[in-house]
Amino acid sequence: MEHPDRPNCIRDSAVEIEVVLPGLIGEMALDHQRFSRTPGRASGATRGEIMDFSLSEEHRITQANIRKLCERELEPIAGLIDREGRYPMDFHRALGREGYLGALIPPDFGGSGADLLTMYIVKEELCRVSAGVGMSVAICALNFCNFLAKLGTEDQKRKYLPPVISGEKLASYCLTEPNAGSDTMGLQTRASRRGDRYVINGSKTFITNGPLADFFIVVTRTSGQRGVRGGTNFILERGSPGLSSGPPFEKLGMRCSPTSEVFLEDVEAWPSQVLGTEDQGFIDMFNTLDAERSLAAATATGIAQACLDASLKYARERVQFGRPIASFQHVQAMLVDMATSLELARTFAHKVVWLYEQGRNINRQAAMAKLFASQMAVRAGLDAVQIHGGYGYITEFPVERYLRDAKLCEIGGGTTEIQKNIVARELLKN
């Protein structure tokens, strides 16, 4: 961004400098490292095998294509939709046309049948440009479509998957309640059997896509008061009598992703709307959430990559005391810390995805990845604002948005404190 009328601001052309930043950039954006199987290798790594950290050709093509789409259609409006709190449905439909919303879904239902790393790449690239869009897309692609593909009946899949995969319909996942946030087992939304149907009463809050969603997966309790037994998931549709959503919340960050309360007052549901098995809903939820948890770090690594990209560009171009600020050691230190932490977070997150694809238990590793990546993204946002100085504090530059968006990584999808509890529990087993 050029400001020729401002003294000593950003020069019209990039200043060529030589700064000692060993291994800082290279081709980081396109050389995202991961743990993966070499093509043709048997499933499951064994001692003595070569560990491959590179993306496959297919993954590189996916990364390049989704990046081009985001830079062409999303980046020009990212700041505007944040300020307006508006979700870009036209772009969402473009994602559907290109097959990204159904990346994990079998081709029989209109999906691409890709692996989980493909979805990680898509989510990270979206979050690099607009984390709010990335969050809303993940709810549709993971929490709704992936859950439905794994747990739904054939009729449910054929009815609900195609319109969400195409981008014509939005979906939401209703778990959190006013009195049941981290304490998931404390939820109070109740589904009671009355004759040949269920009647659902309760309320949900902080529901991503809540104000606009056409379809809702609603987590309820059908028996008992606490514990993993007694939960049942339902698929509900907007327009159902008694189902309504509140106005969008005014949020600190992720502002383009619509979030609201969802109210359920004597909502009737038929057995055909049960997703999975009655009274096994919490168990189904925890099993299926592993895929979401393995991708939790993608939001953070996407935001941090955006912070690093913006900071490198600004540090090269911003001149103070007669030289670019990238030549100052304090600025270099922030860039090095940002790049190193990002590389570590991404590499470990890719390992977690690999472990999930091998059918391994990822409780500890997924919590570690989210914990580290979330804190890393907030630090990257703070350092990006600091590097930009006063310009980092105004909305003319995007880094203040990155910082606001990053904070949710430490709260949503399991707080930092909950991740620490999970890791401690796993470490102290046996």
Considering the candidates 292, 343, 357, 410, report the single residue annotated as catalytic: 292
Residues whose CB falls within 8 Å of the CB of residue 429, separated by 6 or more in sequence, listed in order: none
The C-alpha atoms of residue 170 and residue 176 are separated, in whole angstroms, by: 18
Q: Nearest 5°: phi and psi at 197?
A: -145, 175
Task: Please give the angle made by the CA atoms of 259, 118 and 150, to the nearest 5 degrees.
Answer: 70
Is 292 designated active site? yes
Catalytic residues: 292
